[in-house]
Structure 1
Amino acid sequence: MPLWTLDPFLLACALPLALAIDGRWGEPPAAFHPVVWMGRALGWAGMRIAPLQATGRDIRSFCAATLVWCALAAIVLIVSSALQWVAIALLPVWGAALVVGLLLKPMLAWRMLRGEVLAVEDALAQSLDAGRERLSWLVSRDVQGLDAAAVRESAIESLAENLSDSVIAPLFWFVLLGLPGAALYRFANTADAMWGYPGMRGGRYWQWAGKWAARADDVLSWLPARITAVLLWGVSRGNGARWSDLRAQSRLTPSPNGGWPMGAMALALGVRLSKPGVYVLNAPGRAPQAADTQRAVHLASKTLLALVVLAVTALLLIAIVHTHV
C-alpha cells in the first residue's frame, strides 16, 4: 500500500488505542498538549484582530480573521500529515498504529468530560454554591442564579453537546481523513470556542472577527452532531420518543447542531433541559435528579462504545476488501 494511502487496519487499531490511553491517563500536560498550543496561537492572533468596541459591517476584521484561521489550519494540517506520514513510513503497522493512537488521543477528551460532569454532581451533594462553582468550570454561562435542577440541566447539556464536539466529531473525522482530519476538526472547534461569539467577550468585539470560525465549526460539526443524536436515540431505544420528536427538539436551539445531541439526551432521560431565556428542550419532561447525571454519563458511554464498534467494524471490513482486491 502506498505510504500516502490511509491503511484502514491501522486506523481501526489506532482508534480504540487512543480511547484506551485517554481512559488510563487522561489529558497530557498542558506544555505538551497540541490543543493548548492551538488555543494559545488563536488567543494571540485574536487579540490583534478583534476590535475593542462594537462596529458596523467590519469586513476588514472578517477578512483578517479568515486569513489567520486558514493559515493556522494549514499549519495544523501540514504538521499532523507529516507526523502521520513519518509514522507510516518508518514503522511497522503495529508501531505506526501505536504512534498514531498516541497522537490522536489529545484530539479527544472523554475521560475529562465525564469526570467534570460527575464532579458537578458531587459538588452539588455538598452545597448549591459548590455545585455552581464547579459548573462554572464546564460552561460559559452565568451560573449564580441557577438552582440545583438548573445546575444539573446545564451539566447534562454540556455532556451531550461536548460528547459530539470533543469525542464523536474528532473520531468521525479521524475515520474519514486520518490524524489530519481529527486535528483540523479540533482546531476548528477550538477556534469557535475562542472566537465564535456574536458580540463582546474578553474586552473584544467578535461579531465579525469570529464569524468565519463559527461557520467553519458549524459545517464540520453538522454530520457528527446528527450521528451523536442518532446513536444516543438508538442506545436509549428512543425511550418512547419518535424520530420526529427528536427532529422537533433539534430546531429549538440557536445552534444548528447543538440541539441534536442535547435534544436526544433530554428525550432519552425523560427530563427537561433548558438555558434560561434561550430554549427549553423536552418541555413536558421532569426536572433532572441526581441519578439522572449518572444515567446521562452511562448513555454517553454506550453511545461512544456504539460508535467505536461501528467504526472499527467498517474499517476492518474495508481492510479485508483491500487485501482481496
Structure 2
Amino acid sequence: MDLNIIKDIFQKMGNFDWEIALIKFRETKKNGIEFFCRKIVLDPYDKLSGLVKDISELYTSDLLENKYQQVKPYEGSCDAQVIYRLPCSDKLIKDAFEKLVESISHSDVEEDPFKLKAQACVIYADLVEEGVAKPIKMISVKNPTTILKHKFFADKGSFKELPEKVLTLRTSIDLVIYDGYVYFFDMSGEKLFALERTYTIKCRKDAKLIRDSCILSNPDFFYEYAQKGHNPRRFLSFNEGSLESLASKKIRRRLAKKFGLRIKDDLFVTDTSEEVTQLVKVLCNKGALDPFGEDAMEVTGMEKWG
C-alpha cells in the first residue's frame, strides 16, 4: 500500500467538532489493559481546530515521503520507514481497542488533569463523508504534561520562572484509528494495546506447538530459547501451515538445504541459540530466497506477490 492512503485521511480533516482527552492506562494480570480518560477543553475553543489544522498540514506535506516508504500489514516488524496497519477487529488488539473506545466515549470531566499522570493524548471527531460519519482518533503516546525547568515569562519588567505544570500538545502522531484500522506510525503505539503481552502469550503457545511437532532434535531447548530476545515479536507472523507441511521428511530436508539449517536423522538440530533463531525466522515468514542467486535471505515480512 502506498502512502496516499494516509494522506487521504489527513486531507479529510476540516471544521468538525473536535474533542480532546488525556489517557492514562495500565496493565494488570487480572484485567489486562485498562484505560481512564479525562476530557479537557482548550480556551479559546478554536485553538483545538488550529492544532488539528497544523497536524493535517504536517501529514499532507513532504513529511510522509521523507520519513516513510509504505503502509504494510502489522506483523511484528520494526521498520521505522513503514506505517503498519492492523484491523481493529484483529484478535491481537480487539479487546484493548473496545476498552479504549468505551473509555474515550465516557471520559471523566472532574479529575484534576495534572494529578491524572496521563501517558497519552487523543484528539477525536466524526469525519462526515457524503452523509456518513466515520470516527477518527489521533493519539500521541507521550506524557502530555510536564514541569518546565528554567523557563521564564515576562512580568513587569523582569522574568519569573513558570511555577506550574503545563500541557504540551504535539503535532506528531503515534497512531491513527480510522475506518476500521489502526495505523501505527511508530512502535510506541504498541504500548497502548499491550501488544508485548499479547505476542508473548502467542509466542509461548506457538513455540509449544513446534516443540511437540516431532521435528526437532532438542525440543526443550527450542521451546526455552524461542521465547527470548526478538523471537516473541517474530511469532506474530507464525505460519502454522508451514509447520504442518514439515511433517514431511522430504520437505524438511529440502528446507534445510535451502536455508542452511542443520539436520540430523531428519530432525532440525536446535542445540544452539543461532539454530533456534534461524528456524523461528523460517517458520515466521522471515526467510526468503534471492530470486537471482537462490541464496537464503532474511526479510522483515512477506506478502503475496503482485
Please give the TM-score of this superposition, normalised by the length of structure 1. Answer: 0.25
Larger Rg: 2
Query: Going by fraction, where is strand more abundant, 1 or 2?
Result: 2
Q: TM-score, normalised by structure 2?
A: 0.26
Larger RCO, structure (CA 8 Å, separation 6 or more): 1
